[in-house]
Chains A and B, each alone.
Chain A
Amino acid sequence: MNRFLVLGTALVAPLAALFVTPALAQQPNKLLNASYDVARELFVAENEAFTKLNPGVTIDQSHAGTSKQARSIVEGLEADVVTFNQSTDVDFLAKNGFVSKDWTKAFPNNASPFYSFPSFLVRAGNPKNIKDWADLARDDVHAVFPNPKTSGNARYTYLAAYAWAKEAYKGDEEKIEAYITKIFDNVPVFDTGGRAATTTFVERETGDVLITFEAETRGIAKQYGADKVQAVTPSVSLLAEFPVAVVDKVAKKHGTEALAKSYLDFLYSEEGQRIAAQFGHRVNNEKIAAEFKGQFPEIRLVKVDDVFGGWQKIQSEHFASGGTLDKLYGSR
């Protein structure tokens, strides 16, 4: 029996210790920021700058797809703030009582400290002379973007193309749908996510133009070399916001409400904006925007609310099963 006791204690003791320690480690000078999957480097830089201004503060980072992050928070991931790339995922938190209902008004610019939009990345020298959305429907142009059924990034691409066509064809549904169908027909392969689509385009050299957020094209050019790819900015695109919010329920529990707010405020400060711009995001701060003028060509951006009447409407009309996306994607 003795041996059993020793064996049992040896197995259970470390486990018990593990269960207890994390509960003790809650301090009001520590934040957990739940963010989207490709924001790692951006927030390494932002957090470093913020902690320099606020000595003794630690910012932990969690990165994953934001729908997964929202679900994890609702299931108990104790994030004090969220910095997402899909406002619908913050809405999900608001619906579950983790974020205040009017979160878009808690911070300037619709609670989005920086923004971006679907843009083009073509092969060096732009051999196919791709300039705007109209070129994507040409017979000799093959666009690469992930499957809009699985990727939030590609949904933006789809909506941006749709928004362009809506203007260009003056709302003629038949022509808009023919245009979108043509783009879909010319896509050589639909990957599941943005990262895989990048691999298809750059490493497997498939397709003529990669469509992804402008902010991403910087990272891609850095990874693969500017002699291989170059960015092309279309005449018009769809505004993609990066919404932030304090997760009130968690911050209240941790006593970190003030710190969480000052952290998100920092993202709007000159320094925070400069870092965001360095990582390829467009910012609203006029001084910083002027500083980076050369990096960001002029573009006219349209808003989801103005073109489509809000995310809820998009969800029911375009992305619900049997919606417009299914119809056009299915015709492929």
Chain B
Amino acid sequence: MSTPVTRRKPPRVGDQPLFRRALIGIVLVLGAFLILAPLIIIGVEAFAKGWQVYRDTITHPDTRHAIMLTVLAALVAVPINTAFGVAAAWAITKFDFRGKRFLLVVIEIPFSVSPIVAGVAYLFVYGLQGIFGPVLDEYGIKILFAIPGIILASMFVTAPFVARELIPLMQAQGRDLEEAATSLGASGWRTFFSVTLPNIKWALLYGVVLCNARVMGEFGAVSVVSGNIRGQTNTLPLHIELLYHDYQAAGAFASASILALIAVFTIIAKVALERQGAGRVRRPALAANPAEKTS
């Protein structure tokens, strides 16, 4: 505050060193208590009964099946939701049509609805007492209390992730490049793969990573439609709950440590992706079309 001439920006909240330190301190303390401590506890509790119990839990057929099922759900749900997200973001940002705002709202719904509501809604649609349930039952098609139901519920909950990542970026990038490509005679697919995709790939990967993490961790919606059959429809989060309720704390935490590991890898992947490109792509695009910001 001594020589205002040398300072270009006006003073802002948080400029005083003491205040800044206090803010950083609060964030660190809260972070330690809210996030770090539980993570450490998972690790400690997982090995509380020793390495042997940990290994037995992880290699138990039911745990292994839960891990496989969770991975399978992600393998199916993530690609479909990625395709859906890209298509939705492409349609919303590159074209004008009636009902565009409505489509935006529809994409947002899973964010605002509690997962358990989604699960119950699936019961009412595909359950035996529901709309399609009796017909499906007649043809021997099982959706609820089987793997398809788990995948559907996971897909519902994670539908917005990719689209929400892409829409702001694609809006900022505008449509000039696509219009240029089209006017030079490129087909729709060519335009997408050669022009749009390279521009959005980091944000897309980021969306996929988030979507994947959420699919693997989803509990509420899946809990309603899974039927909790051990070794068949128990996903990893459901398996953890079951072990915990059964006074198998060490087993529950051992399984939880696997989910936590996945989460940590996800975060590392996310940070790496951000370093790699997310920022870098955005900048030249904006620099090339500064006017696009208004669209």
Q: A4-B189, A23-B142, A75-B133 are in contact. Are A60 and B76 (CB under 8 A)?
A: no
Near A by CB (< 8 A), chain B positions 128-160 give: 128-130, 133, 137, 140-148, 151
Measured between beta carbons, the chain A residues less than 8 angstroms from B244 are 195
Asked if B246 and A40 make an inter-chain contact with CB atoms under 8 angstroms apart, the answer reads yes
Asked if A22 and B76 make an inter-chain contact with CB atoms under 8 angstroms apart, the answer reads no
Asked if B227 and A62 make an inter-chain contact with CB atoms under 8 angstroms apart, the answer reads yes
Asked if A77 and B144 make an inter-chain contact with CB atoms under 8 angstroms apart, the answer reads yes
Query: Which of A19, A38, A195, A223 has most B Cβ within 10 Å?
Result: A19
Interface set of B (CB-CB < 8 Å, partner A): 75-76, 79-80, 83, 123, 126-130, 133, 137, 140-148, 151, 189, 227-233, 242-249
How close is B113's CB to chain A, nearest CB, in angstroms?
Answer: 20
| Cα separation A75 to B227 with both chains bound (whole Å) | 10
Asked if B242 and A76 make an inter-chain contact with CB atoms under 8 angstroms apart, the answer reads no
A32 within 8 A of B: yes
Name which of A7-15, A134-142, A308-316 contacts chain B.
A7-15
How close is B134's CB to chain A, nearest CB, in angstroms?
Answer: 9
Asked if B228 and A38 make an inter-chain contact with CB atoms under 8 angstroms apart, the answer reads no
| Cα separation A14 to B141 with both chains bound (whole Å) | 15
How close is A224's CB to chain B, nearest CB, in angstroms?
Answer: 9
Asked if B230 and A38 make an inter-chain contact with CB atoms under 8 angstroms apart, the answer reads no
Near B by CB (< 8 A), chain A positions 164-210 give: 195, 198
Query: Which of B142, B143, B244 has most A Cβ within 10 Å?
Result: B142
How close is A83's CB to chain B, nearest CB, in angstroms?
Answer: 14
| Cα separation A41 to B251 with both chains bound (whole Å) | 13
Asked if A75 and B144 make an inter-chain contact with CB atoms under 8 angstroms apart, the answer reads yes
A304 within 8 A of B: no
Q: A61-B230, A75-B133 are in contact. Are A195 and B145 (CB under 8 A)?
A: no
Asked if B127 and A15 make an inter-chain contact with CB atoms under 8 angstroms apart, the answer reads no
How close is B15's CB to chain A, nearest CB, in angstroms?
Answer: 43
A52 within 8 A of B: no
Measured between beta carbons, the chain B residues less than 8 angstroms from A219 are 246-247
Q: A23-B140, A76-B128, A78-B145 are in contact. Are A32 and B123 (CB under 8 A)?
A: no
Nearest residue, chain A, Cβ from B137: A76
Q: A4-B189, A60-B230, A64-B228 are in contact. Are A195 and B148 (CB under 8 A)?
A: no
A53 within 8 A of B: no
Near B by CB (< 8 A), chain A positions 27-41 give: 32, 37-38, 40-41
Asked if A76 and B228 make an inter-chain contact with CB atoms under 8 angstroms apart, the answer reads no
A3 within 8 A of B: yes
A220 within 8 A of B: yes
| Cα separation A72 to B245 with both chains bound (whole Å) | 20
Asked if B128 and A60 make an inter-chain contact with CB atoms under 8 angstroms apart, the answer reads no
Asked if B228 and A15 make an inter-chain contact with CB atoms under 8 angstroms apart, the answer reads no
| Cα separation A220 to B248 with both chains bound (whole Å) | 10
Measured between beta carbons, the chain A residues less than 8 angstroms from B233 are 62
| Cα separation A258 to B247 with both chains bound (whole Å) | 34
Asked if B142 and A76 make an inter-chain contact with CB atoms under 8 angstroms apart, the answer reads yes
What 16 additional pairs, Cβ within 8 angstroms, besides A62-B230, A72-B145? A3-B189, A14-B75, A15-B148, A38-B245, A40-B242, A40-B243, A40-B246, A71-B123, A75-B144, A75-B145, A76-B128, A76-B133, A77-B145, A198-B247, A219-B246, A219-B247
| Cα separation A99 to B211 with both chains bound (whole Å) | 41
Measured between beta carbons, the chain A residues less than 8 angstroms from B147 are 18, 22
Contact-residue size bin, chain A (C-beta under 8 Å from the other chain): 35 or more
Nearest residue, chain B, Cβ from A8: B83
| Cα separation A41 to B148 with both chains bound (whole Å) | 28
Binary flags per residue of A30-58, CB closer than 8 Å to B gives 1, else 0: 00100001101100000000000000000
| Cα separation A71 to B228 with both chains bound (whole Å) | 13
Measured between beta carbons, the chain B residues less than 8 angstroms from A4 are 189
| Cα separation A15 to B155 with both chains bound (whole Å) | 12
A74 within 8 A of B: yes
| Cα separation A19 to B249 with both chains bound (whole Å) | 35
| Cα separation A41 to B233 with both chains bound (whole Å) | 18
Asked if B130 and A75 make an inter-chain contact with CB atoms under 8 angstroms apart, the answer reads yes
Asked if A222 and B247 make an inter-chain contact with CB atoms under 8 angstroms apart, the answer reads yes
Asked if A7 and B83 make an inter-chain contact with CB atoms under 8 angstroms apart, the answer reads yes
Nearest residue, chain B, Cβ from A14: B76
Q: 20 A–B contact pairs at CB < 8 A?
A: A3-B189, A15-B148, A18-B147, A18-B148, A38-B245, A38-B247, A60-B232, A61-B229, A62-B228, A72-B145, A72-B227, A74-B129, A75-B133, A76-B142, A76-B145, A77-B144, A77-B227, A195-B245, A198-B247, A220-B247
| Cα separation A76 to B129 with both chains bound (whole Å) | 8
Q: A22-B147, A63-B228 are in contact. Are A74 and B128 (CB under 8 A)?
A: yes
Q: A7-B83, A19-B143 are in contact. Are A62 and B229 (CB under 8 A)?
A: yes
Measured between beta carbons, the chain B residues less than 8 angstroms from A38 are 245-247
How close is A66's CB to chain B, nearest CB, in angstroms?
Answer: 12
How close is A254's CB to chain B, nearest CB, in angstroms?
Answer: 12
| Cα separation A75 to B228 with both chains bound (whole Å) | 14
Measured between beta carbons, the chain B residues less than 8 angstroms from A77 are 144-145, 227
Near B by CB (< 8 A), chain A positions 218-272 give: 219-220, 222-223
Nearest residue, chain B, Cβ from A249: B128
Measured between beta carbons, the chain B residues less than 8 angstroms from A3 are 189
| Cα separation A61 to B233 with both chains bound (whole Å) | 10
Query: Which of A10, A18, A71 has most B Cβ within 10 Å?
Result: A18
Measured between beta carbons, the chain B residues less than 8 angstroms from A78 are 142, 145
Asked if B76 and A15 make an inter-chain contact with CB atoms under 8 angstroms apart, the answer reads yes
How close is B46's CB to chain A, nearest CB, in angstroms?
Answer: 16
Asked if A76 and B127 make an inter-chain contact with CB atoms under 8 angstroms apart, the answer reads yes
Asked if A22 and B129 make an inter-chain contact with CB atoms under 8 angstroms apart, the answer reads no
Measured between beta carbons, the chain B residues less than 8 angstroms from A63 are 228, 230, 242, 245
9 nearest A-B residue pairs (beta carbon): A75-B127, A23-B140, A223-B247, A76-B128, A77-B145, A77-B227, A62-B229, A40-B246, A219-B247
